[in-house]
Amino acid sequence: MLAVSLLAFILCEVVLYFSLARHFFDVTPSVALLVVAAGLLGVRAAVNALSWAVATTWRAPWPALGAARFALMVLADYAAFVFCFVLVLPLERLWLGADRLDPANPRPPLLLIHGYGCSRGVWWWMRGRLERAGWNVATVNLEPVCSDIDAYAASIHRRIDAVCKATGRSQVVLIGHSMGGLAARAYVRKHGAARVARVLTLGTPHRGSRLAHLGIGDNARQMQPESDWLQRLARVSSDVDTVVIYSPHDNYVMPQTLLELPGVPQRRVDGVGHLAMLFSPRVVATLLVVLAAPSLAGEAVAADGVPPR
């Protein structure tokens, strides 16, 4: 289970940093705790900085932001990274309780599907915003973490059945972040569109990402650009209304043009990092605009959720 693994890893880090500070630098326990905090934050700052270094090296041409806005974007994504992997995911059950599904809600429920190396806990902030906007929101965990993406279709299928039963609805809207968008498309390929009203993707590497070469597991290999798996997925046409929401400044999918899915409507949200999408009011606003529209078929790329004129 991801939460247990992350919690064990963090505890090992705490013991290591505390022991190093006490035995090699002979500091007081209170100072050693500060060293622990600095170590936890510093390691994750290095990882996040590496993602931006790779993203800018392999980037596609992207809209200019200016130094201040770019710095704020990087800091926001770093904060999202620390929040998710230090606080939320290791303690998922404390942050994200059971899904609250109201059978009286006439709208199709939303099923949120997380990305690579994550769990349903990443939806903690966004789930609340979507619920306050009047939607039934459900989540699902994709396990094992490094499995074949096609294997996740079974978990998604079971969760769709349970959500439809709990709400009395016949269909759900699938919303996938990162790899979760590929898992949603893989589900439709395997099980068809009978239970799916729409598929919305956030920061999904529809045509792969160079960063996937550094990942582990079958799913990382499947997300490498031009992988056989991605090419097979692209060859399968779908009648499901699909909308792609992405940031041209994504720091996990590069070059960022690989976020685009030819032939479907695109919604571009500038100045947002990959993980920060999950905590962005602009991304939520874009989602709500898309959800309110009966269909966006035939539309082109639009910035910040505003259809082109």
Question: Domains plus CATH for the chain?
Answer: 94-293 (3.40.50.1820)
Average pLDDT score over residue span 207-222: 96
Asked which of 76-85, 260-269, 273-282, 288-297 is least confident by mean pLDDT, the reply is: 288-297
> Which residues, in sequence order, are bridge partners of residue 266?
244
Q: Which amino acid, 207?
A: R
Chain segment 12-64, per-residue pLDDT in tens:
999 999 999 998 888 899 999 999 999 999 999 999 999 999 999 999 999 99
Contacts of 81 (CB under 8 A, 6+ apart): 44, 47, 48, 275
pLDDT at 308 (0 to 100): 35
Based on the number of CB atoms within 10 Å of its own CB, is 193 exposed (0-12), middle (13-18) or buried (19 or more)? middle
Average pLDDT score over residue span 304-309: 42
Helix, strand, or coil here: 25? Answer: coil
pLDDT at 18 (0 to 100): 95
Contacts of 48-54 with C-beta under 8 Å, sequence gap 24+, read 48/74, 48/77, 48/78, 48/81, 48/251, 51/211, 51/251, 51/252, 51/274, 52/77, 52/251, 54/210, 54/211, 54/251, 54/254
pLDDT at 298 (0 to 100): 46
- C-alpha to C-alpha distances, 115 to 48, 119, 136, 263, 299, nearest whole angstrom: 17, 7, 21, 23, 26
Examine the pLDDT at 306 and tell me if it is beyond 50: no
Examine the pLDDT at 296 and tell me if it is beyond 60: no
- The DSSP letter of residue 123 is G
Average pLDDT score over residue span 123-129: 98
**Do residues 180 and 152 make contact, with C-beta atoms less than 8 angstroms apart?**
no
Chain segment 223-272, per-residue pLDDT in tens:
999 999 999 999 887 789 999 999 999 999 999 999 999 999 999 999 99
Average pLDDT taken over every residue of the chain: 93
pLDDT at 259 (0 to 100): 98
* Helices vs. strands in the chain: H and E counts, helices first: 10, 7
Interhelix angle 2-24/29-57, rounded to 10 degrees, is 120
Cα gap 42→238, rounded to integer Å: 44
**Do residues 186 and 233 make contact, with C-beta atoms less than 8 angstroms apart?**
yes
Chain segment 143-189, per-residue pLDDT in tens:
999 999 999 999 999 999 999 999 999 999 999 999 999 999 999 99
Give the global pTM.
0.93
Structure-token pair, residue 121 = 């806990």
Q: What is the DSSP string of 243-299?
A: EEEE-TT-SSSSSGGGG--TTS-EEE--S--TTGGGG-HHHHHHHHHHHHSS--TT-
pLDDT at 302 (0 to 100): 52
pLDDT at 24 (0 to 100): 85
Cα gap 81→308, rounded to integer Å: 32
Average pLDDT score over residue span 205-229: 96
